[in-house]
Structure 1
Amino acid sequence: MRVAVSTRAALAAAAAALSLAVAAPLADAAPPAQTPAASQSGSAGTIIGTQARPDGWRGAAHGLAIDYWTRGADGKPVPASGGLLLPAGKAPAGGWPVVAYTHGTSGYGPGCGGQSGPDAKADRFTSRLLASGYAVVAPDYVGLGRFETGVHPYLNNDSEGAATIDLLHAARGVEPSLAKKWVVAGPSQGGQAALATAHMQSRYGAPTDFRGAIAVDPESDVEKVMAFLGPYVPPAPAVLEKAYGYLLAVLAGNRVADPAVDVNSYLSPYGRSLVDKVGNGCPAPTVPAGTAFGSLLAKPLGSPELRASLDRYMAVPTSGYTKPTLLLFNALDLTVPSPLHAKLEADFVANGVDHRTVLGTGSHTEMNAAQWAAWDDFLRTALA
C-alpha cells in the first residue's frame, strides 16, 4: 500500500491530535471486587450490589457506589460500577433532576475510574452540579471500575454510552428520589462519552426523559488522524509525549472490540509489547523520551479495514441527535487540538444538529465565566 505524507508538519499535526482526552489526574488503582461469572449476568441495568458511602463523600449529602450489569465493546454482558451523588436538602416535587457525569481520562485499568471508590474525590463539575441541586450518576466506565473485566475500551462509543445509560437505570432502582428527566455532561473523554450517550439513548435501554448533552472539549475525529500514522512517523515533541499512551490505549481497546481486523498485524514487536501492557495499572505503558511513533508500528494505520473498524469503535456521531447539545470549546486546547473542535462544529452545522457552541480561550477543559454561564443556563432550561 502506498501512503502519501506531505510534510513533517502533517506528522506533527497527527501526533498533536493524538494528545487527547486528559481531564483528570491518573488515580491509584483501588482493589478490584470479585468479578461475577458471565453465567451469573443479569440484563443491562440490573443491580449487582451497592455500597454505602459516608455523608460528605465527594461533597455529596448522600452517596452510594453501585455495581451493575452493562455491556462491553464486544456487546457481551460485563459488570461495571459507578457513583450516585445526592445534593443536600429535600428533593423537589418530582424528584432530583439527574445529570449523568461522564469523566475524563483517569487511567486504563481496574480501579482507575475515580467515581465509585471510597477514596474518590469531588471535582469542579460534580461539585457545581450538586450545589445547583442536581443528583449525579457517574460511571467508572467498563474496565475502570471495581471489577477485573479485561482491557478498558478507551474512547469506545458503545461501551461508554451503555455504561452511562445502564447506571442511570440501576440508580433509579435503588433511589426513589431521582426524577425521570436527565441530562448527560462531561469533559474531554467524558465529552466524547456524553455525545455517545446522547446519540445512543433513543435506541438503547428502556425509554427515558432525556433532555440533552453538554460536551466540554470532547475528543473527536482522532480516528481520521490515526490513518496518517505509520512506521515513517518521527518522535513526537516532548509536549506531546502523552499521545503515545492514548494511541496504545485506543489500539488495545480496538483489538478487543474487533478481533477480526487483526490489530497486532499493524504493530511492531515493540509496539505489541506496549499494547499488551495497557491496563496493568492506571498509567499508560512507559515509552522512553525520543521514541519515534513509527517504531511502534509495522505498517500504516490507514488501511480501509482498520479505518472502518476505528470509525465503528470511536467516531463521534455528527447527526441523529434527538435533543439539544451544548459544545464548550477552548481555542488554545493542545490536548484535543482546536482544529478538531472546528471540524466537529462544522459537521454539526452541516448536518443540522440542534446545538449551541461557546468558545473560550483557555487550555484543555478550562471554563471561563461565559462557559459556566452557558453550562448553568443549559441545565436550568433542559431540566425545568
Structure 2
Amino acid sequence: MTAQPRHIPPAADPAPHRGRPRVSRTVKAVGATVVSAGLVAGGVTATQAFAEPEQSTQQTPRGGQTAGSVFANRPVADTDLAAGASSGQQFSYWTQGSDDRMHLSTAVLLEPQGAAPSGGWPVVAYAHAPAGLASQCGPTQSKLTADVATVSDLLRGDYAVIVPDYSMVGVAGSPQYVDYGSTADGLVDAVSAASDVEPSLSSKWAAVGEGLGAGAAVQLAQSAASSQPSGLDFRGATATTLPVGYDEVVTGLSPRSAKVSAGTVTEVVYTLASVDSEQVEPLLTQRGRNLVQKARQVCAPALTKAIGGTNLADLVRKAVSSDSALLAELRKALALPSSGFSRPIMLSQKLVDDETDVPASLQYVTTAQLASNKVAAKTYLTGDARDADRQEKAAQADFLKKLF
C-alpha cells in the first residue's frame, strides 16, 4: 500500500526507495553502534529506538537499507525478560514509512521456555494498541498491563512473540495512527528481520491485533500473503477491540462533532498530530493546536489528562472535509477492509465494550463473515465483562492453534 498521508516530514535519511523490495535480501549491518534502551523488568521488552540516529541518516545509502533488513541487534538481559520468555533479542530494522522513505524502526523478539519444536517456534507478531507518537511511548516504556498479559499468554502458548514499538527513529509522526497499511507493512518487515536475528524460528507466523493495532491485523489478513518475502508463511490473524467507525470519527471531525469518550479524543488528537502540520493546523482551534503539540511529546495517559473535558468539537474551527485532499488521504488510510481476505482471520466483538461502538462492530463482523469464508466471527453471549474477556482469550488461543 502506498502509505497515506504522504506529507509526514521526513528525517534526513537515504534517498527515497520506491517500492518495497521484500524478496531481495541484503547483507545485514548487525554490528552497528547501539545506545542503551529502556527495558521493562518482568514486562514487555520491545525496544526503544536504540540504533544511533546520527549513524543511520546519511545521504549515501549503505548496505542493508532494504525493507525487512536488520540494522542492529543485541540480547535482552535475563532480568528484563517478560514472564514466560526464555530469551529475547532487541533489534532495529529498516522499513518504508508513510512518506515512502526508508526509516529505522524497532522491535523485540521473545522466545518461549522449553525445547523448540523441530521446525522452530511458530511466530506471532503482536499489533498492540499504540500509546503515543514519542519514542518513550512504545511497550518498552509504557508498561501497559494489557500488553504485558497478552505477550506472556502468547509465550505460554509456545509462540515466539515479536513486539514492535512502531515509531520510526528521527521522524515526526508515526504511521500507526494514520495508516493501517503502513503499519501492517512494518509488521511484515519486523517478522522478516526477526528471522535473520534468530534463523531457527519457524517460517510460519500470525498476527494478533488489538484496538488500532487490530486495523493492521485486518490489513495483514488481506495483503500479507502477497507482500511477505519468500521464506515466510503468513497463516492468519486475530483482531479484538476493532476500530470500526474510527475513520468516520476522524473524517467527520468538525465544530459540530458529537461528544465521545476521552480515550477516543486522545486517539483523534494523536491522529491529527501524525498528519503534516501544514495540512492540519489551518483547521485547528488554539486549544486543538496546543493539544496536537503536546501529543508529539507525551504518551496517552498524560495526553488524556491534558485533554480533560475537551470534546472533539473543541479541537477544530473548520471541518476536516473542508480539505478534500486530506479527507481523501484519511479515508484511504483508515479504511477497515471487510472482504478480500487471503488468510483466515478471527474478528471478535464483546457485547460489553467501552472502547468500541458495539452495534457498528457487530454489523461489521457480520458483513465481513458473509463476504468471506476466511472470516471467523466471534461474539460472546454474556453481559459480564470479565467473563467476556475470558471467553475472548480462549477463542483467540484456540484460533491461533488451528492456524499452525
Structure 1 residues 231 and 32, CA gap change in structure 2 (3 angstroms): farther
| 2:297 aligned with 1:274 | no
Kept in 2, the 8 Å contact 1:84–1:137? The answer is yes
Partner of 1:7 in structure 2? none
- Return the letter of the residue paired with 1:268: T
1:26-65 to 2 correspondence within 5 Å? Answer: 33-35=51-53, 36-37=56-57, 39=59, 40=61, 42-55=65-78, 57-59=81-83, 60-65=85-90
Partner of 2:170 in structure 1? 148
Kept in 1, the 8 Å contact 2:262–2:304? The answer is no
Which runs of at least 4 in structure 1 moved beyond 6 Å after TM superposition?
Answer: 117-122, 362-366
SS of the aligned residue for 1:200 comes to helix
| 2:236 aligned with 1:212 | yes
1:347-358 to 2 correspondence within 5 Å? Answer: 347-358=367-378
Measure the CA separation in 2 of the matches of 1:314 and 1:38.
Answer: 32
State the shift of 1:292 in Å. 4.0
Partner of 1:76 in structure 2? 101
Structure 1 unaligned regions, length at least 5: 1-24
Structure 1 residues 341 and 369, CA gap change in structure 2 (3 angstroms): same
Measure the CA separation in 2 of the matches of 1:140 and 1:65.
Answer: 11
- Return the letter of the residue paired with 1:206: P
TM-score, scaled to structure 2: 0.77
Measure the CA separation in 2 of the matches of 1:168 and 1:174.
Answer: 10
Structure 2 unaligned regions, length at least 5: 1-42
Residue in structure 2 matching 1:255, options 276, 281, 292: 276
SS of the aligned residue for 2:203 comes to strand
1:360-371 to 2 correspondence within 5 Å? Answer: 360=380, 361=382, 368-371=389-392
Residue in structure 2 matching 1:297, options 316, 319, 327: 316
Q: Percent identity?
A: 28
Kept in 2, the 8 Å contact 1:324–1:354? The answer is yes
Partner of 2:19 in structure 1? none
Measure the CA separation in 2 of the matches of 1:363 and 1:254.
Answer: 39
Structure 1 residues 292 and 328, CA gap change in structure 2 (3 angstroms): closer
- Return the letter of the residue paired with 2:96: R
SS of the aligned residue for 1:213 comes to strand
| 2:221 aligned with 1:198 | yes
- Return the letter of the residue paired with 1:96: W
SS of the aligned residue for 1:340 comes to helix
Measure the CA separation in 1 of the matches of 2:386 and 2:74.
Answer: 31
State the shift of 1:282 in Å. 1.7
State the shift of 1:31 in Å. 7.7
State the shift of 1:326 in Å. 0.6
Deviating more after overlay: 195-204 vs 209-218: 195-204
Deviating more after overlay: 162-171 vs 190-199: 190-199
Partner of 2:121 in structure 1? 96
Kept in 2, the 8 Å contact 1:72–1:142? The answer is no
| 2:180 aligned with 1:157 | yes
Partner of 2:399 in structure 1? 378
SS of the aligned residue for 2:362 comes to helix
Measure the CA separation in 2 of the matches of 1:126 and 1:289.
Answer: 31
Calculate the aligned-residue CA RMSD, in Å: 2.9
State the shift of 1:265 in Å. 2.8
State the shift of 1:348 in Å. 0.6
SS of the aligned residue for 1:196 comes to helix
Kept in 1, the 8 Å contact 2:265–2:311? The answer is no
Residue in structure 2 matching 1:171, options 161, 172, 194: 194
TM-score, scaled to structure 1: 0.81
Partner of 1:246 in structure 2? 267
Partner of 1:338 in structure 2? 358
Give the paired residue count.
346
Kept in 2, the 8 Å contact 1:215–1:326? The answer is yes
